[in-house]
Structure 1
Amino acid sequence: MIRVLVADDQAVVRAGLAVILGAEDDIEVVGEAADGAEAIRRTRELRPHLVCMDIRMPGTDGITATRAITSDPSLDTEVLVLTTFDIDDDVFAALEAGAAGFLLKGADEPTLLGAIRSVAAGEGTLDQRLTRRILREFTARRPASRSQAQQPVVQAPLTSRERDVLSLLAEGLSNAEIAERLFVEPTTVKYHLAGLLQKTGARDRLQAVLWGIRTGMVTVG
């Protein structure tokens, strides 16, 4: 069962998401929050697997709340950012704050549910309509990104296969697609991905790609 907390300043949005998610057998909405401060507090109280986080909320915004949640070592909670806006500085800030995914609020139900399951599984997700644009712009913004001290530290050099997996992750490929491209089994991809995440300190696939972009190891053309 995927335990979800919904954080949005609009009650109608929270109610709508609760109805959609609550209808699924494998998803349970355990709570709601109307702003970032409440999202942080309720996450620490309820320990959800995932927070559906609006970016722009009064008081403590979604970016600050995302950073507080993902940087708390006592929590094992992922954040999926939901926004009505296209790509802007807030989206990049949320991703740098540790969000595992980004999705437009206009996404259809199958896309929303798939994103939640993907993020809960530690795979991360981006709205497929915007993935390449986001990563390209993130690459362009790399010189202005946060200092190296705030970036994940490599625990050991990446193997050639881990580098291959990282590059293919940046293309938005699934484990099955990466396995097909590399002519290996999906379980082998999972093995290399686990090593990649451990060495980079990334929480999930998306954060591993962003790490690769920050360090210059990955370039999205």
Structure 2
Amino acid sequence: MAPTLLLAALLAAPATPATPLIPNSPVGSDSVTVSVAVPPVLGLAKSARRPPIGYRPRHLLLQTGGGVGMVSVGGGLSFARRRLDLDALLGYVPARHAGTTLTIASAKVKYAPWQLPLGGSGLALTPLAVGVYGSYTFGLRNTGEEGQYPDDYYWWSRTIRVGPVLGSSLSYALPDASSGRARRLTAYYELATNDLYGLSYFLNRRALSLSDIATLALGLKLEI
């Protein structure tokens, strides 16, 4: 009689299909199957989730000059079999060289159509790389004395510069990363100018030469 009453009570209870059920093993010929609701284990769902995929630099940069800081550090990404680089740098100029301390944030895009291996030495030459850059300067240049310049004296932006980049580089193959990705250490130089220098040259070609408006950058790029 007891098994019959227990079966009736179970049939009358509401079902909970959303909760996993684990059947108990039957005991004896008069036993009935009893389903026990098991709550989900805390933290199991979170541990099963894949961590978010973030973007990290493929190479690190150390540079001096180039109109974006006496010393600049940054990183970037490479695409199209290392032919296209997208870089971001943060540069610093001490006050003794600019009248006030400057911090310069810059971004640069370069494309190198040719990469020439130099025998079996692990060296590779990139004879030409062309691109553009833009920079933003935190801090004032040529502040002068109060009232020295009228409000509209600087008709150009003192903080934003854009211009072309032309350069070359020499790379050396390093041992592969733990992920199997090939790595290289690259030494490069860049010649650049900017919009303000270019306009000054156009308006004063008799007084200025191309070397007067060019900037030189020397740097290292380490693939990680």
TM-score class normalised by the smaller sequence: under 0.3
The structure with more strand, counted as a fraction of residues: 2
TM-score by length of 1: 0.22
The structure with more helix, counted as a fraction of residues: 1
**Structure of greater Rg:** 2
TM-score by length of 2: 0.22
